[in-house]
Amino acid sequence: METGFEHGSGVGLDPGRPRSRRGAEISRVGSEVGLDLEHPGNWGPQTVRSGSCNAPRRTFMWQETILNALLYSVPLLLAVVAHEVAHGLAAEKRGDPTARMQGRITMNPLVHVDLVGTILLPGILIATRSPFLFGWAKPVPVDLTNLKGGRRDMALVSAAGPLSNLVLACLSALTYRGVILAINALGSPPELLWVLEPLMIMAAFSATFNLTLMVINLLPIPPLDGGRILMGLLPPRLAVQLQKVEPYGVLILLLLIAGGVADDYVLEPVLTLFMRLIL
Protein backbone atom coordinates (compact mmCIF):
# COMPACT_ATOMS: atom_id res chain seq x y z
CA MET A 1 0.00 0.00 0.00
CA GLU A 2 1.12 3.56 -0.51
CA THR A 3 2.89 5.28 2.39
CA GLY A 4 1.31 8.67 1.93
CA PHE A 5 -2.14 9.91 1.13
CA GLU A 6 -4.17 13.09 1.09
CA HIS A 7 -7.56 13.82 2.52
CA GLY A 8 -10.08 15.97 0.64
CA SER A 9 -13.36 17.19 1.98
CA GLY A 10 -15.38 15.62 -0.78
CA VAL A 11 -18.65 16.59 -2.34
CA GLY A 12 -21.75 18.46 -1.27
CA LEU A 13 -25.15 18.64 -2.87
CA ASP A 14 -27.12 21.85 -2.71
CA PRO A 15 -29.57 21.88 0.21
CA GLY A 16 -31.22 24.95 -1.24
CA ARG A 17 -32.64 22.97 -4.15
CA PRO A 18 -33.83 19.69 -2.65
CA ARG A 19 -36.29 17.21 -4.05
CA SER A 20 -38.78 14.54 -2.92
CA ARG A 21 -38.66 13.58 0.79
CA ARG A 22 -35.64 15.73 1.52
CA GLY A 23 -37.42 18.62 -0.17
CA ALA A 24 -40.36 18.11 2.15
CA GLU A 25 -38.06 18.30 5.16
CA ILE A 26 -36.44 21.52 3.91
CA SER A 27 -39.89 23.00 3.32
CA ARG A 28 -40.92 21.97 6.83
CA VAL A 29 -37.88 23.73 8.29
CA GLY A 30 -38.65 26.96 6.47
CA SER A 31 -42.38 26.87 7.08
CA GLU A 32 -41.88 26.97 10.85
CA VAL A 33 -41.04 30.65 10.57
CA GLY A 34 -42.42 31.40 7.14
CA LEU A 35 -39.25 31.33 5.06
CA ASP A 36 -38.98 30.08 1.50
CA LEU A 37 -35.65 28.25 1.64
CA GLU A 38 -35.58 27.69 -2.09
CA HIS A 39 -35.74 31.41 -2.91
CA PRO A 40 -33.74 33.39 -0.34
CA GLY A 41 -33.82 36.38 -2.64
CA ASN A 42 -37.41 36.88 -1.52
CA TRP A 43 -36.47 37.47 2.10
CA GLY A 44 -36.79 40.92 3.57
CA PRO A 45 -36.79 42.52 7.01
CA GLN A 46 -40.50 41.78 7.35
CA THR A 47 -40.39 38.18 6.12
CA VAL A 48 -40.73 36.49 9.50
CA ARG A 49 -43.77 37.33 11.55
CA SER A 50 -43.96 34.83 14.44
CA GLY A 51 -44.60 31.91 12.17
CA SER A 52 -46.31 33.67 9.30
CA CYS A 53 -44.86 35.17 6.17
CA ASN A 54 -45.70 38.45 4.50
CA ALA A 55 -45.82 38.75 0.72
CA PRO A 56 -42.28 38.36 -0.66
CA ARG A 57 -40.49 41.43 -1.94
CA ARG A 58 -39.28 41.79 -5.51
CA THR A 59 -35.59 41.33 -6.17
CA PHE A 60 -33.37 41.47 -9.20
CA MET A 61 -31.65 38.30 -10.39
CA TRP A 62 -28.21 39.61 -9.52
CA GLN A 63 -29.32 40.48 -5.99
CA GLU A 64 -30.57 36.97 -5.39
CA THR A 65 -27.38 35.50 -6.87
CA ILE A 66 -25.18 37.57 -4.56
CA LEU A 67 -27.33 36.72 -1.55
CA ASN A 68 -27.22 33.02 -2.42
CA ALA A 69 -23.44 33.15 -2.79
CA LEU A 70 -23.01 34.79 0.61
CA LEU A 71 -25.40 32.45 2.38
CA TYR A 72 -23.89 29.35 0.81
CA SER A 73 -20.21 30.31 1.01
CA VAL A 74 -20.00 30.71 4.78
CA PRO A 75 -21.41 27.26 5.70
CA LEU A 76 -19.54 25.61 2.82
CA LEU A 77 -16.16 27.11 3.77
CA LEU A 78 -16.66 26.28 7.43
CA ALA A 79 -17.62 22.70 6.61
CA VAL A 80 -14.69 21.91 4.31
CA VAL A 81 -12.11 23.75 6.43
CA ALA A 82 -13.22 22.01 9.65
CA HIS A 83 -13.12 18.70 7.78
CA GLU A 84 -9.50 19.22 6.74
CA VAL A 85 -8.38 20.54 10.13
CA ALA A 86 -9.92 17.47 11.79
CA HIS A 87 -7.86 15.19 9.53
CA GLY A 88 -4.71 17.13 10.35
CA LEU A 89 -5.34 17.10 14.10
CA ALA A 90 -6.11 13.38 14.13
CA ALA A 91 -2.95 12.63 12.13
CA GLU A 92 -0.86 14.76 14.50
CA LYS A 93 -2.39 12.98 17.50
CA ARG A 94 -1.38 9.63 16.00
CA GLY A 95 2.20 10.71 15.30
CA ASP A 96 2.25 12.43 11.90
CA PRO A 97 3.23 16.15 12.05
CA THR A 98 3.05 16.69 8.28
CA ALA A 99 -0.09 18.83 8.32
CA ARG A 100 1.25 20.94 11.19
CA MET A 101 4.61 21.42 9.47
CA GLN A 102 2.85 22.62 6.31
CA GLY A 103 0.64 25.05 8.23
CA ARG A 104 -2.59 23.20 7.46
CA ILE A 105 -3.94 22.95 11.00
CA THR A 106 -5.69 26.30 10.99
CA MET A 107 -9.22 27.58 10.44
CA ASN A 108 -7.90 30.20 8.02
CA PRO A 109 -9.81 29.28 4.83
CA LEU A 110 -7.13 30.77 2.58
CA VAL A 111 -4.76 27.96 3.58
CA HIS A 112 -7.26 25.29 2.51
CA VAL A 113 -8.83 26.91 -0.53
CA ASP A 114 -8.53 25.06 -3.82
CA LEU A 115 -8.98 27.54 -6.68
CA VAL A 116 -11.13 25.21 -8.75
CA GLY A 117 -12.89 23.12 -6.10
CA THR A 118 -13.59 25.83 -3.52
CA ILE A 119 -14.05 28.99 -5.60
CA LEU A 120 -14.55 28.62 -9.35
CA LEU A 121 -16.73 25.52 -9.58
CA PRO A 122 -19.12 26.33 -6.68
CA GLY A 123 -19.30 29.94 -7.88
CA ILE A 124 -20.26 28.89 -11.39
CA LEU A 125 -22.86 26.42 -10.10
CA ILE A 126 -24.43 29.06 -7.83
CA ALA A 127 -24.41 31.75 -10.53
CA THR A 128 -26.04 29.42 -13.06
CA ARG A 129 -28.64 28.26 -10.50
CA SER A 130 -27.50 24.68 -10.84
CA PRO A 131 -29.77 22.04 -9.19
CA PHE A 132 -26.73 20.79 -7.25
CA LEU A 133 -23.61 22.18 -5.66
CA PHE A 134 -20.32 20.43 -5.02
CA GLY A 135 -16.76 21.29 -4.28
CA TRP A 136 -13.67 20.40 -2.30
CA ALA A 137 -10.80 21.89 -0.33
CA LYS A 138 -7.07 21.38 -0.76
CA PRO A 139 -6.33 17.88 0.61
CA VAL A 140 -4.42 17.57 3.88
CA PRO A 141 -1.25 15.48 3.42
CA VAL A 142 -0.79 12.50 5.74
CA ASP A 143 2.33 10.32 5.89
CA LEU A 144 1.23 6.79 6.72
CA THR A 145 4.75 5.81 7.85
CA ASN A 146 4.52 8.32 10.72
CA LEU A 147 1.27 6.95 12.12
CA LYS A 148 1.79 4.88 15.25
CA GLY A 149 -0.87 2.33 14.40
CA GLY A 150 -0.29 2.05 10.66
CA ARG A 151 -3.42 1.20 8.69
CA ARG A 152 -5.61 1.25 11.81
CA ASP A 153 -4.61 4.85 12.44
CA MET A 154 -5.27 5.64 8.79
CA ALA A 155 -8.87 4.61 9.43
CA LEU A 156 -9.04 6.84 12.53
CA VAL A 157 -7.59 9.83 10.67
CA SER A 158 -10.06 9.28 7.85
CA ALA A 159 -13.01 9.09 10.24
CA ALA A 160 -12.09 12.41 11.87
CA GLY A 161 -13.28 14.47 8.88
CA PRO A 162 -16.85 13.13 8.68
CA LEU A 163 -17.08 13.22 12.49
CA SER A 164 -16.26 16.95 12.44
CA ASN A 165 -19.08 17.49 9.95
CA LEU A 166 -21.53 15.63 12.20
CA VAL A 167 -20.54 17.85 15.14
CA LEU A 168 -20.96 20.99 13.02
CA ALA A 169 -24.36 19.78 11.79
CA CYS A 170 -25.56 19.33 15.37
CA LEU A 171 -24.23 22.74 16.42
CA SER A 172 -25.89 24.32 13.39
CA ALA A 173 -29.18 22.66 14.31
CA LEU A 174 -28.92 24.03 17.85
CA THR A 175 -28.23 27.50 16.43
CA TYR A 176 -31.23 27.22 14.13
CA ARG A 177 -33.52 26.24 16.98
CA GLY A 178 -32.09 28.99 19.17
CA VAL A 179 -32.83 31.64 16.55
CA ILE A 180 -36.40 30.39 16.20
CA LEU A 181 -36.86 30.65 19.96
CA ALA A 182 -35.39 34.16 19.89
CA ILE A 183 -37.74 35.27 17.11
CA ASN A 184 -40.77 33.86 18.89
CA ALA A 185 -39.72 35.40 22.21
CA LEU A 186 -38.75 38.84 20.92
CA GLY A 187 -41.46 39.21 18.32
CA SER A 188 -40.28 40.40 14.92
CA PRO A 189 -38.55 43.78 15.20
CA PRO A 190 -37.13 44.59 11.74
CA GLU A 191 -33.74 45.61 13.11
CA LEU A 192 -33.29 42.13 14.63
CA LEU A 193 -34.68 40.23 11.66
CA TRP A 194 -31.96 41.62 9.40
CA VAL A 195 -29.52 39.64 11.58
CA LEU A 196 -31.62 36.69 12.68
CA GLU A 197 -33.02 35.73 9.27
CA PRO A 198 -29.61 35.21 7.56
CA LEU A 199 -28.25 33.50 10.68
CA MET A 200 -31.19 31.10 10.77
CA ILE A 201 -31.01 30.24 7.09
CA MET A 202 -27.22 29.76 7.19
CA ALA A 203 -27.63 27.49 10.21
CA ALA A 204 -30.19 25.37 8.34
CA PHE A 205 -27.97 25.23 5.26
CA SER A 206 -24.93 24.46 7.42
CA ALA A 207 -26.66 21.48 8.99
CA THR A 208 -27.55 20.11 5.57
CA PHE A 209 -24.16 20.87 4.01
CA ASN A 210 -22.33 19.14 6.83
CA LEU A 211 -24.61 16.12 6.82
CA THR A 212 -24.17 15.84 3.07
CA LEU A 213 -20.38 16.04 3.31
CA MET A 214 -20.42 13.43 6.03
CA VAL A 215 -22.61 10.98 4.13
CA ILE A 216 -20.82 11.40 0.80
CA ASN A 217 -17.37 11.09 2.36
CA LEU A 218 -18.39 7.90 4.16
CA LEU A 219 -19.15 6.11 0.91
CA PRO A 220 -16.72 3.14 0.75
CA ILE A 221 -15.00 4.40 -2.40
CA PRO A 222 -11.36 5.49 -2.21
CA PRO A 223 -10.14 8.23 -2.14
CA LEU A 224 -13.20 9.21 -0.05
CA ASP A 225 -12.89 8.85 3.70
CA GLY A 226 -15.17 5.83 3.71
CA GLY A 227 -12.82 4.08 1.29
CA ARG A 228 -9.83 4.98 3.48
CA ILE A 229 -11.61 3.67 6.57
CA LEU A 230 -12.45 0.42 4.83
CA MET A 231 -8.88 0.05 3.55
CA GLY A 232 -7.66 0.44 7.12
CA LEU A 233 -9.99 -2.24 8.43
CA LEU A 234 -9.74 -4.86 5.69
CA PRO A 235 -7.05 -7.55 5.64
CA PRO A 236 -3.98 -6.32 3.71
CA ARG A 237 -4.71 -8.40 0.60
CA LEU A 238 -8.25 -7.07 0.26
CA ALA A 239 -7.12 -3.54 1.10
CA VAL A 240 -4.65 -3.65 -1.79
CA GLN A 241 -7.43 -4.71 -4.15
CA LEU A 242 -9.67 -1.87 -2.96
CA GLN A 243 -6.83 0.60 -3.39
CA LYS A 244 -6.78 -0.20 -7.10
CA VAL A 245 -10.18 1.50 -7.37
CA GLU A 246 -8.76 4.83 -6.16
CA PRO A 247 -7.77 6.29 -9.58
CA TYR A 248 -11.39 5.87 -10.68
CA GLY A 249 -13.05 6.82 -7.38
CA VAL A 250 -13.99 10.40 -8.24
CA LEU A 251 -15.39 9.34 -11.62
CA ILE A 252 -17.46 6.62 -9.93
CA LEU A 253 -18.79 9.15 -7.44
CA LEU A 254 -19.72 11.67 -10.13
CA LEU A 255 -21.53 8.96 -12.08
CA LEU A 256 -23.45 7.95 -8.96
CA ILE A 257 -24.45 11.57 -8.38
CA ALA A 258 -25.30 12.30 -12.02
CA GLY A 259 -27.38 9.13 -12.24
CA GLY A 260 -29.31 10.01 -9.10
CA VAL A 261 -28.17 6.86 -7.32
CA ALA A 262 -26.25 8.66 -4.57
CA ASP A 263 -29.11 11.09 -4.00
CA ASP A 264 -32.06 8.70 -4.13
CA TYR A 265 -30.62 5.70 -2.30
CA VAL A 266 -28.03 7.24 0.04
CA LEU A 267 -28.37 10.98 0.62
CA GLU A 268 -32.14 11.29 0.61
CA PRO A 269 -32.99 8.62 3.22
CA VAL A 270 -30.03 9.46 5.47
CA LEU A 271 -30.48 13.24 5.32
CA THR A 272 -34.22 12.94 5.85
CA LEU A 273 -33.62 10.85 8.98
CA PHE A 274 -30.94 13.19 10.37
CA MET A 275 -32.96 16.33 9.61
CA ARG A 276 -35.96 14.90 11.45
CA LEU A 277 -33.71 14.11 14.42
CA ILE A 278 -31.78 17.39 14.70
CA LEU A 279 -33.92 19.98 12.90
Q: Which of 164, 168, 185, 211 is nearest to 15 (CA)?
A: 211
Active site residue 92: no
Indicate whether 56 pLDDT > 50: no
User: Can you give the residue ranges of every domain in the chain?
Assistant: 4-218+249-278
Indicate whether 120 pLDDT > 90: no
In this prediction the pTM is: 0.78
pLDDT recorded at residue 153: 95
What is the arithmetic mean of pLDDT over 171-192? 86
Indicate whether 70 pLDDT > 90: no
Separation between Cα atoms, residue 278 and residue 275, nearest integer Å: 5
Q: How many CA atoms lie within 13 A of 60 on its CB side?
A: 3
Residue range 199-211, pLDDT digits in tens: 888 999 899 889 9
CB 77 within 8 A of CB 118: yes
Q: Which residue in 25, 84, 197, 268 is the catalytic one?
A: 84
What is the arithmetic mean of pLDDT over 171-193? 85
pLDDT recorded at residue 15: 42
Between residues 160 and 42, the one the model is more confident about: 160
